[in-house]
Amino acid sequence: CTITFIQVFKSAGLLVADGFSVQKVKTFFPYAISFVLSIYSNGKVLQYLNVETLIVFRSCGPLVVSVLDWMFLGRELPSMRTTLALLVVCAGAMGYVLTDSEFQINEM
């Protein structure tokens, strides 16, 4: 469907796009799969948690990702200012969980 849309608009001169190549598909395939898996996993999480809880836990993701980037990819750790901001966000998330009367995890 997307390829057809792109080809039609490209042929009509309404869109400028690179040509289709198998190498580009191979390059972007892991990203497309990870996107689909993230949508699926969010849907599964919503079976057991409410939306607010999902948002709270996802807000702690950047802190975890920055540490994993440092550990496995050799990237720099965030600056002290950025680390403090990430910790404040995580502290806010934990505070929300501790004070939310409707926080619950349903049986799996």
For the chain, give the DSSP string. Answer: -HHHHHHHHHHTTS---PPP-HHHHHHHHHHHHHHHHHHHHHHHHHHHS-HHHHHHHHHTHHHHHHHHHHHHH-PPPPPHHHHHHHHHHHHHHHHHHHH-TT------
7-54 pLDDT, tens digit per residue, is 899 889 898 888 778 898 899 899 999 999 999 998 998 888 778 778
70-96 pLDDT, tens digit per residue, is 999 999 999 999 999 999 998 988 888
